[in-house]
Amino acid sequence: MKLHYYEETDSLYIELNAAPSAETREIAAGINIDLSESGTIVGIDIDNASGKLDLSTLESDGLPIGRLKAA
């Protein structure tokens, strides 16, 4: 899973896996999900992210993280 934040558009993309997106569906105002050909969710796009989320912290609880990578 990867988090991509785009400051110029204030959008956050949560990439759940690297499968290509075949369809995008808006599930709420400014929140879209990308689906694979088989219907699996591959990503979540959040517009106006700083107005919807607290982007100042990132926490994980109980994730089996074997590798943590920061860019």
Between strands 11-15 and 23-28, the pairing is unpaired
For the stretch 10-68, pLDDT in tens is: 999 999 999 999 999 999 999 999 999 999 999 999 999 999 999 998 887 887 776 66
What confidence score (pLDDT) does residue 41 get? 97
d(CA 26, CA 53): 18
Domain that holds residue 31: 2-51
What confidence score (pLDDT) does residue 58 get? 82
Long-range contacts of 14-19 (CB under 8 A, 24+ apart): 14/43, 14/44, 14/45, 14/46, 15/42, 15/43, 16/41, 16/42, 16/43, 16/44, 17/42, 18/42
pTM of the full structure: 0.85
Structurally, the chain folds into a number of domains equal to: 1
pLDDT range class, residue 71, cuts 50, 70, 90: low
7 part of a folded domain: yes
13 part of a folded domain: yes
